[in-house]
Each structure stands twice: as structure tokens, then as C-alpha cells.
Amino acid sequence: MPTVGVTDLKDGDFLLDVREDDEWQAGHAEGALHIPMSDFVARYGELTEAAPQDGRVHVICRSGGRSAQVTMYLVQQGIDAVNVEGGMQIWEAAGRPVITDAGDPGHVL
């Protein structure tokens, strides 16, 4: 399973957040694309439209379990995807910004 750490991510890296709506609304990484894992297959086209053509998709959830499953699916589809180890819990612990849709400070559920 291709994996990267939160500290390996750079500004501008494409981030796919697969947490559920309530988790997203509590707080997320700025600029991330939100497609909940429960809707992922039905909304797959949104990812292929938004993801960079020759770029990598960094998949994140709360702790890394759901994102690992989505990463495996994407790799099977031929997409360069990696799981973000430790998910948004590590993101927040590392001091990376977590915001709400309004741009206010958020938190990880």
C-alpha cells in the first residue's frame, strides 16, 4: 500500500478527504476535495475531473483506515494514489491548519 506521512505533503498537493459529512463540517484541510467513502463509487467522476492528470492523489480520512481502502481502489483503477498515514488526527497534531467551510478554525472529530 503506497503511504506518505503528513509531513511529506507539500502545499499544492492534491488531497482527497473521504470522511463523512459531519467530520468534514467539523474541520478539514483547506483545498481538499471531499467525497465521503460511502458515496465514493457513485461520485468517482468528481475525482477524475478534479484530480491532476499526471499528479498524485493523497487520500486522507480520520486515522487512515478508510483512506487505505479508497487508496487501494484507486490504485486498482490505475490512479497514482497514496494513503496519508494517521489521517486528519496526525494532520491536526502536526499543527497543520484545520478549517470549516466558512474558513474558521475547525477540529477533527
Which of 109, 108, 100 has its CA nearest to residue 30? 100
Report which secondary-structure segment, H or E, holds 4. Answer: strand 3-4
Asked about 61 being catalytic, the answer comes back as: yes
- Within 10 A of 15 (CB to CB), how many other CB atoms are there? 19
| Identity of residue 102 | A
Across 39-56, b (16+ Cβ under 10 Å) vs e yields ebeeeeeebeeebeeeee
What number of residues does the chain have? 109
Candidates 61, 74, 82, 108; catalytic one: 61
Which residues participate in catalysis according to the annotation?
61
